[in-house]
Amino acid sequence: MLTNSLRQATSVGNLDVLPAEMIPRLGFRIESSQIRRILEFAQRNYDVVCVDLSGMMEKYSVDVLDHSKQIFLVCTPEVASLHLGMSKLKILRSMHLDERIGILVNRTERNSERLLYRRSNISSARKPF
């Protein structure tokens, strides 16, 4: 499984990308041990490893988050996305990951001010109404 996955990696300049399957197979489950082996390989061979997780808090996602040095929660400026982001932030806080969390706001207007949240702002974020 690991060697088959690594063969699918694509290089773009100095960036190597290991994409997820375009069409997931029915009943296919990713085990934490499989993810762990891929991440161990990546950490031995790369300076930086970036994992784009689904929004679902599956077992392997939680394992990846536990071992991450930095976590970015990505939201868009729509109310529903921000509400969902606050819910996920609560979950990450309950896992005691506060110090590793950064928030990225995607798809902002070009003319709007840049939104940047620092760790101190995340700790004091208010609860959603």
Per-residue pLDDT reduced to its tens digit, 67-114: 888 999 998 888 899 899 999 999 999 999 989 999 888 876 665 555
Average pLDDT along the chain = 77
The stretch 45-55 carries a mean pLDDT of: 85
- Between 32-45 and 59-66, two packed helices, what is the crossing angle to 10 degrees? 30
In angstroms, rounded to a whole number, what is the distance separating the alpha carbons of residues 53 and 74?
11
The stretch 26-51 carries a mean pLDDT of: 83
Name 69's Cβ contacts closer than 8 Å, sequence gap at least 6. 100
pLDDT grade for 12, boundaries at 50, 70 and 90: confident
Looking at residue 62, what is its pLDDT? 87
Looking at residue 93, what is its pLDDT? 92
